[in-house]
Amino acid sequence: MMRYIIVSVVSGIIFGVLDGLINANPLAQKLYAAYKPIARTAVNMPAGFIIDVVYGFALAWLFLLIYNSLPGQSGLVKGICFAVIVWFFRVVMSAASHWMMFAIPVSAVLYTLAAGICELLILGILYGLTLKPAA
C-alpha cells in the first residue's frame, strides 16, 4: 500500500512537470495559438497540481486493477502496453475530437499525439517497474 501511495504521488508530480513542459514551451505556444481566443490567461497552479496527483492515483490504481490482463510477462512490457491503452483513450480520442471541432492546424494535433505518447510511456514505465498487484 505504501508503495502505491509513493508511486502515485511521484507519478502525479511527473504528470504536472511534463504537462508544464509540454504545454508551456515555445513550440507548443506557437502550435496551440489557435486556442488563444478561448484559453485561460493564467493557470491555477494549486488546482492543476491537485488534479495531476489525483490522476497519478487513478492511473496507478487502474494499472494495478488490469495488471494481470495486460500482455507481456514483465512489468516493463505491461507498463508500456498500459501507456499505449491510456494514450489512445486519453490523448488520441481527445486530439481527434479537437481536430474535428476546432480550426487547429494538423501540426498541433500531431504534437499533441507525440507529446502524449512520450508522457504516458514515462508514466507507464514507472508503473511497470514499480507496481505489482498484491498476491
**Pick from 65, 69, 83: nearest CA to 128:** 83
Res. 39 pLDDT band, cuts 50 70 90: confident
Check if the beta carbon of residue 131 is closer than 8 Å to that of residue 3: yes
**Residue with the larger pLDDT of the pair 86 and 24:** 86
Integer Cα distance of 74 and 78 in angstroms: 6
Per-domain residue ranges of the chain: 2-130
Q: Flag whether pLDDT at 59 surpasses 80.
A: yes
Res. 11 pLDDT band, cuts 50 70 90: very high
Half-sphere exposure of 3 (CA within 13 A, CB side): 10
Res. 29 pLDDT band, cuts 50 70 90: confident
Res. 34 pLDDT band, cuts 50 70 90: confident
Neighbours of 5 (CB within 10 A): 12
